[in-house]
Structure 1
Amino acid sequence: MRKSYTILLSLAVLLSMVMSVQAMESKTIDRSNGASASADWCETNGDITTGKYLSVTETDDGTDIYLEIYTYGPDYWSGKSGYIFTEDDVFSIDRKLNSASLSDVEIEVCNWDTGETETLTVNADWIGMGDISRDSYTSRSQSGNYIWKSSGSSKYRDASATSSIDGMDLGASSYASLSNFKSAYMSMEK
């Protein structure tokens, strides 16, 4: 009888090991860490407003940079924008969101009306201002044997930014911010 119990116990242990291996094989986890900085420059002369917007997001994969330049009035709207992704080390940011810097990068921008393109050289510096705010989230969903879970946290801080485009100094930003974030995603089949 004792031998039967030993065999059953051994089978149960083996079965649980096989099941845990199968669960591990059907489990996917993705993690992402990153940081970002953005800034707006806006100027109004009479009824004409001119603005520039720059955003930089760095993850483990590389750095995304987006630039937009626009002008509008009562019966007028024009603009151009461009985007690049680079694996070069062009962006740095302090962990405590005290400062950030984008070194010279070339971005090809496209005119929204004509489709004409031009290449602009952009750089920027940010200085963190005020308190750091924090945010976090978690979510879970299930459909049949599939389970999805995601979670994330971020810190962000207001900032002041300066930039130049093709050597033209934009002066102090109208608004700017710095942030860093962590996120995780898991999918599992029971």
Structure 2
Amino acid sequence: MRRALALVALLLATGCTSGHHDGPDGPDPGADPDRAAIHDGLATLFAGDHPTAADLADGDCFARELVARVTPAQLRAAGVLDESYAVVAELPVLDQSVGEAWVQAQFACVDYVEAAARAAVSVSHGAVDPGVYAACLRGALTGDELHDAVLATLTGSVDGPEVKTLSSAQSACTERAKRR
């Protein structure tokens, strides 16, 4: 359930890694992190497995915003980067500070409501009108409520009231936006 919620609600595809290796045994864990490889790995993770040009641009923006907010050491401690500073294949539950930075970076680059509308159309195979869905979701939740729900999801509070509020709003808006 958490993985599905993360994929649909947050539009985070978690099947990619940066694949960066420095030598026959991989990178030296004590070496300085390759910031370009970290950026590229984060951009790829955010953009997903089959990205469009817009997804790639969003991923690049997200990676730039995130690395401006947190250090490679913080990302490594949070489990976003492995011991060698490569981006992990699946996003872990984040601590509060990295989760907050993640949400800020995501919201700086992507209109969450528009992204959720595109996801609803995709999941419904076109049965949902994206304009109706987006208008409904904007009317149902404030920006702060969206922020809090995404943060709660990233920090493992998937059963929290913020996530339940978002989930209820998304369900209601999906029903309202179904093409008849």
**TM-score between both structures, scaled by the size of structure 2:** 0.23
User: Of the two, which has the highest radius of gyration?
Assistant: 1
Q: Which is richer in strand?
A: 1
